[in-house]
Amino acid sequence: MAIPTHTLNDGNVLPAIGFGTYPLRGDDGVAAVRSAIENGYRLIDTAVNYENETEVGEAIRRSGVARDDLVVTSKLPGRHHGYDDAIASVHASLERLGLDRLDLHLIHWPNPSVGQYVEAWHALVDLQKQGLVRSIGVSNFSPEHLETIIDDTGVTPAVNQIELHPYFPQSVMRDVHEKYGIRTESWSPLGKRQAPFSEPPVAQAAERLGVTPGQVILRWQVQLGSIPIPKSATPERQRQNLDVFGFELTADEAAAITALGRPDGRLFGGDPDTHEEM
């Protein structure tokens, strides 16, 4: 089944689901990313900090899928937020990937105490004008961080990639994104190690629909309008995770999954407003 798409606020198009690549590295990493592409994923999510851009580039070349059919995302690390550092960082990412263009580049974390994320955003705006990056966005930005960069540059990020899963459904951020026209992407979309596969709303929907709990959670993400980027090193799970467009949760089922959200549901222990990425 063809993967539906979302048109971003800059006119570019993203598939409604993507593939997360952390921590896939080395020969096994190349094999896993290649298998994901061969299984049909077209949006691939990497980052400088994952130290696997070389492997992702290799997997893309070995997959035989045309470059222009893929949407390659990477992320700018906190240590490269200065304007010149950010420009150099993107050139280095392209070199490692063996590509002449990124389709989406995100500021990985705002790192507010360093205070250079506005500079980093200026660099991404300029790289987009030069055609080196097709769409630009952010990750782990709070409403205040979004407001700051939009006010300063007049350019709204196309995407904010945030932690989002049933225990942490991010209702406030989704509303903020709606207001600005920013597309939400969900990291740890299954909930990673604490995936709520046996929670009754998930298990019961899986039973009714004859699908797996993981598929129910990813379908819930799709119905929220967020783009999940599940990671799996297993070809069978890669296929299963992609196969979420042939069934539908009822509004009540989806609402019951959203209601699993809880104040301590965040996987990442810190406060993203103050978190300093390594």
> Which active-site residues does the annotation give?
50
Among 74, 161, 221, 226, binds ligand NAP (CB under 6 A): 161
The 8-class DSSP code of residue 199 comes to S
Sole binder of ligand NAP in the list 35, 39, 52, 139 (CB under 6 A): 139
d(CA 152, CA 259): 36
CA distances in angstroms from 207 to 198, 221, 249, 254, listed in the order given: 11, 18, 12, 14
Q: Which stretch binds ligand NAP (CB under 6 A): 51-59, 63-71, 95-103, 234-242?
A: 234-242
Residues 164-183, mask of contacts with ligand NAP (x by CB under 6 A): --------------------
Give 212's DSSP letter. Answer: -
Choice between 135 and 139, CB closer to ligand NAP: 139
- Least separation in angstroms between residue 47's CB and ligand NAP is 7
Tally Cβ neighbours within 10 Å of residue 234: 11
Pick one of 61, 62, 101, 237: the residue that binds ligand NAP (CB under 6 A): 237
Site membership for ligand NAP, residue 35 (CB under 6 A): no
Q: Which of 57, 78, 157, 189 is in the footprint of ligand NAP by CB under 6 A?
A: 189
Provide the H-helix boundaries in the chain.
26-38, 53-63, 83-97, 117-129, 143-153, 171-180, 200-209, 213-224, 235-242, 251-258
Of positions 8, 14, 17, 20, contacts ligand NAP by CB under 6 A: 20
Residues linked to residue 44 through DSSP beta bridges, in sequence order:
19, 72
* Candidates 15-23, 59-67, 148-156, 198-206; binding stretch for ligand NAP (CB under 6 A): 15-23
- Give the span between the Cα atoms of 93 and 80, in whole angstroms: 12
Within 208-227, which residues bind ligand NAP (CB under 6 A)? 212, 214
Distance separating alpha carbons of residues 236 and 73, to the nearest angstrom: 23
Toward ligand NAP, which CB reaches closer, 171 or 234?
A: 234
Closest listed residue to residue 37, CA positions, set 246, 245, 239, 268: 239
The rounded distance, in Å, linking the Cα atoms of 119 and 84 is: 9
Using the rule CB under 6 A, is 57 a contact of ligand NAP? no
| Smallest distance, ligand NAP to C-beta of residue 32, A | 8
Contact 163, 170 (CB under 8 A): yes
Site stretch for ligand NAP (CB under 6 A), options 62-70, 85-93, 147-155, 231-239: 231-239
Q: Which residues bind ligand NAP (CB under 6 A)?
A: 20-22, 45, 139-140, 161, 187-192, 212, 214, 229-234, 237, 240-241
